[in-house]
Chain A
Amino acid sequence: QVQLKESGPGLVQPSQTLSLTCTVSGFSLTSYSVHWVRQHSGKSLEWMGRMWSDGDTSYNSAFTSRLSISRDTSKSQVFLKMNSLQTEDTGTYYCAREDTMGITSWYFDFWGPGTMVTVSS
């Protein structure tokens, strides 16, 4: 069955770099795109970026200068790297699989359980 699972450090110091891994199973990264979405505690969801199935990437311009998404298809993993972390980056980070019913109609049909990241010294 389709599964996604995020993993990461939990605690990151301000100004440091966050590195997260999304490990997927039940589908191929060359067939489906995977997105990163974050959620501040008690707040709404914020789309960060996407790894397309063809290996291309796209980012929310709010993060462009400090966000990078990559993948290792042999390990079925998608990576998120974000630098210059601040306390406002504290939250839960999710990876989600994209499904589509046509151009511009992309939605997230499976989500990982999320990984909590705290930015604090």
Chain B
Amino acid sequence: DIVLTQSPALAVSLGQRATISCRASESVRSSMHWYQQKSGQQPKLLIYGASNLASGVPARFSGSGSGTDFTFTIDPVEADDIATYYCQQSRNDPFTFGSGTKLEIK
């Protein structure tokens, strides 16, 4: 199975940039997607295909990368962005998710 590694937590000040990384144990090309999960809610798709913004998602969110190294960015961070962010790959079965990065406000 492809393992996706994310840092567990990130603290950022409001109005600043948050950068979350996801490293895959083998190449997933551009088959990487990002989700936001707020406490007590289901995940919400933000980015698909490494860099495509999902419908209705603010342009403050962006994604980049290919192969094994991916970056998800929020700029600027707003209070409503407090959540856990997950990467997910669909290059190989089984689909796998990263362990999640919890975004906190400084």
Residues on A facing B (Cβ under 8 Å): 35, 44-47, 58, 60-62, 94, 96, 99, 101, 104-114
> CB of B48 within 8 A of chain A?
yes
Given contacts A104-B31, A105-B49, contact A111 B43 (CB under 8 A): yes
Is A114 touching B42 in the complex (CB atoms < 8 A)? yes
Chain B interface residue count, CB cutoff 8 Å, equals 28
Q: How far apart are the CA atoms of A108 and B89 in the complex, in Å?
A: 11
Annotate B72-106 by CB proximity to A: 1 below 8 A, 0 otherwise. 00000000000000101011111111111000000
Which of chain A's residues have a CB closer than 8 A to the CB of B43? 45, 94, 96, 108, 111
Is A44 touching B97 in the complex (CB atoms < 8 A)? yes
Annotate B36-50 by CB proximity to A: 1 below 8 A, 0 otherwise. 000001111100110
Is B96 touching A94 in the complex (CB atoms < 8 A)? no
Is B45 touching A47 in the complex (CB atoms < 8 A)? no
Checking A46, A58, A99 against B48 with a beta-carbon cut-off of 8 angstroms, the contacting residue is: A99
- The 8 A-B residue pairs with the shortest CB-CB distance, nearest first, are A107-B33, A111-B42, A47-B95, A60-B94, A45-B97, A106-B90, A107-B48, A105-B31
Which of chain B's residues have a CB closer than 8 A to the CB of A114? 42
Q: How far apart are the CA atoms of A114 and B31 in the complex, in Å?
A: 25
For chain A, what secondary structure do more than half of its interface residues adopt (helix, strand, loop), or is it mixed? strand
Given contacts A45-B43, A99-B48, A111-B43, contact A104 B33 (CB under 8 A): no
> CB of B18 within 8 A of chain A?
no
Is A45 touching B29 in the complex (CB atoms < 8 A)? no
Residue of A at shortest CB range from B98?
A44
Q: How far apart are the CA atoms of A110 and B98 in the complex, in Å?
A: 19
Is A105 touching B86 in the complex (CB atoms < 8 A)? no
Min CB distance B51 to A, Å, is 11
